């Protein structure tokens, strides 16, 4: 689990200065300790990406928490080396939640690296501002460049996929989910250009990159989470274990990587779908295997019948309700011009928590 420790970079957001050092210093920087040697090399070679990755890890965690705030599993995170990863031991499983974590984190890296590229803070993007000093002439390939998306995608592949070792089914699944997350980012990105000139001629051309917000990506991934397919290795999937004479060997066997759904009536998962191979636990009781605390003590909605409703959330254990008072601004009036005057009201609120 050493590799996925890069997620803990989310915590270094504040200590920004120590990462803007020279290449040699950066490589040995203690902040990069969670990274593998290869990842460290990668970020050292591409100065500026490490900040983007840290930011990416943070937005991934925030997005996961946001998307799952009303589910039993609410994307808990641990910052004390809990099972070696920020997301805890759930990664040892191969369930839906695991697939979402992989997808959302790799998507976040892709997104924030592409973002950093277009802001000009990564100098190795193929389209940084400095190398485009003279954006004139017939071949405009200028600063608002289309390669940012591709760079982000590639970088994420290099950075995220590289940690997947072993050649088992889980490895395949993780690769797939990583890629699915990234595809959602890069297909949402679009370069838009516009010509300006006398009556529609093209004397000046301006371009910009339409980047989806990460919330959009999160929503899409959540949809895929709900529709994720449970898969088995494809018929000829066993051959992936046959490492044999892989690598440069000439007569390398063609290994099929396709997944077949457990339910034969389901469609084969596509490139954007999330896949998993283990059913999720109920997430009702405390489970030490995955380090989940259970839903006891979680707040729930007494009137809702949905997943955040007390019935489902508390797994039938019932809930307790307590009332508390809040002081709010109320009866606000607008006085010309320009003042808003409010009174302070005291209201009773009820909080429901699972037993």
Partner 1 sequence: MDDMLDFDPDQLDDSDYELLQQYLQGEYSPELAELLESYGGYDDDSDVYERIPIRNLYENCVIPTASQAMSHVIPLFMFCVSFRIICLLAHTVFKDYASPLKFLHFVSCVFGLMILYRFFEFALVYIIASLIATYIIVLLTSQFSRPQVGIFVSVFIASYILMCELIIVDGKIWHSMRGAQMILSMKLISLGFDWSSGAIERLPSILEFSGYCLHVGSVIFGPWFSYKDYISGLQENKPLCKWWIIKVLFSCSLAVLCLIYSTCFTSWLIIQGSFSWLLAYRDAQSFRFSHYFVSFLSEATHVLSGFGYTQTADSVKWDYSVVRPDKIEIPHSLVEVVTNWNLPMHTWLKTYVFKTARPLGNFVAVLLTYGASSLLHGLNFQLAAVLLSLGFYSYIEFMLRLKLASSFDACILAKRCKEKCDHKYQIMNPFVMLTNLSFVLLSMFHLAYLGLMFDNSSDEEMGYTMSHTLSKWSQLNYASHWVAVGTFLFYIVI
- Chain residues in the site for partner 1 (CB under 8 A): 37-38, 41-42, 45-46, 118-119, 135-138, 142-144, 154, 157-158, 161, 167, 172, 175-176, 179, 183, 187-188, 192-213, 216, 220, 243, 246-248, 254-258, 270-272
Nearer to partner 1, 75 or 217 (CB): 217
Nearer to partner 1, 163 or 354 (CB): 163
Q: Are 111 and 56 in contact (CB under 8 A)?
A: yes
Question: What does the alpha-carbon distance between residue 3 and residue 159 come to, in Å, rounded to a whole number?
Answer: 10
Q: From the CB of 207, what's the least distance to partner 1, in Å?
A: 7
Nearer to partner 1, 101 or 275 (CB): 275
Q: From the CB of 29, what's the least distance to partner 1, in Å?
A: 17
Nearer to partner 1, 124 or 279 (CB): 124
Nearer to partner 1, 97 or 179 (CB): 179
Length of the chain: 355
Nearer to partner 1, 175 or 315 (CB): 175
Nearer to partner 1, 104 or 183 (CB): 183
Q: From the CB of 137, what's the least distance to partner 1, in Å?
A: 5
Q: From the CB of 228, what's the least distance to partner 1, in Å?
A: 15
Maximal C-alpha separation, the chain: 83
Question: What does the alpha-carbon distance between residue 142 and residue 134 come to, in Å, rounded to a whole number?
Answer: 9
Q: Are 273 and 96 in contact (CB under 8 A)?
A: no
Q: From the CB of 123, what's the least distance to partner 1, in Å?
A: 13
Phi, psi of 319 (to 5 degrees): -140, 160
Return the CA Rg of the chain. 25
Within its chain, how far is the Cα of 63 from the centroid? Answer: 7
Peptide bond before residue 195 is cis, with ω within 30 degrees of 0: no
Closest CA to 49 of 125, 107, 142: 125
Question: What does the alpha-carbon distance between residue 253 and residue 247 come to, in Å, rounded to a whole number?
Answer: 10
Question: What does the alpha-carbon distance between residue 145 and residue 251 come to, in Å, rounded to a whole number?
Answer: 40
DSSP secondary structure letter of residue 225:
H
Q: From the CB of 247, what's the least distance to partner 1, in Å?
A: 4
Q: From the CB of 90, what's the least distance to partner 1, in Å?
A: 23
Question: What does the alpha-carbon distance between residue 3 and residue 169 come to, in Å, rounded to a whole number?
Answer: 18
């Amino acid at each position: 689990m050493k590799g996925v420790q890069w997620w803990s970079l989310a915590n270094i957001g504040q200590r920004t200065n120590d990462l803007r050092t020279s290449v040699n210093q950066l490589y040995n920087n203690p902040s990069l300790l969670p990274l593998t040697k290869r990842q460290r090399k990668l970020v050292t070679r591409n100065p500026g990406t490490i900040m983007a990755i840290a930011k990416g890890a943070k937005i991934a965690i925030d997005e996961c928490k946001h998307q799952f705030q009303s589910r039993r599993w609410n994307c808990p995170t641990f910052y004390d080396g809990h099972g070696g990863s920020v997301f805890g031991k759930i990664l040892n499983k191969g369930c839906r939640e695991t697939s979402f974590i992989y997808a959302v984190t790799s998507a976040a890296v892709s997104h924030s690296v592409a973002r950093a590229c277009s802001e000009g803070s990564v100098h190795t993007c193929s389209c940084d501002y400095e190398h485009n000093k003279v954006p004139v002439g017939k071949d405009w390939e200028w600063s608002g460049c289309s390669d940012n998306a591709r760079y982000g995608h590639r970088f994420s592949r290099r950075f995220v996929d590289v940690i997947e070792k072993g050649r088992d089914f889980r490895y395949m699944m993780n690769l797939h989910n990583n890629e699915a997350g990234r595809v959602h980012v890069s297909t949402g990105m679009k370069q838009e250009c516009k010509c300006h000139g006398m009556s529609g001629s093209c004397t000046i051309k301006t371009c910009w990159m339409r980047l989806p917000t990460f919330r959009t990506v999160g929503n899409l991934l959540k949809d895929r989470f709900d529709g994720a397919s449970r898969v088995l290795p494809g018929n000829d999937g066993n051959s992936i274990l046959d490492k044999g004479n892989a690598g440069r060997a000439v007569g390398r066997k063609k290994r099929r990587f396709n997944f077949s759904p457990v339910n034969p009536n389901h469609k084969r998962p596509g490139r954007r779908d999330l896949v998993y191979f283990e059913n999720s636990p109920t997430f009702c009781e405390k489970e030490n295997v995955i380090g989940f605390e259970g839903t006891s003590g979680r707040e729930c909605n007494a009137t809702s019948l949905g997943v955040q409703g007390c019935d489902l959330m508390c797994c039938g254990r019932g809930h307790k309700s307590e009332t508390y008072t809040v002081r709010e601004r109320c009866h606000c009036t607008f006085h010309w011009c320009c003042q808003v005057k409010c009174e302070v009201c005291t209201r009773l609120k009820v909080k429901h928590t699972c037993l």
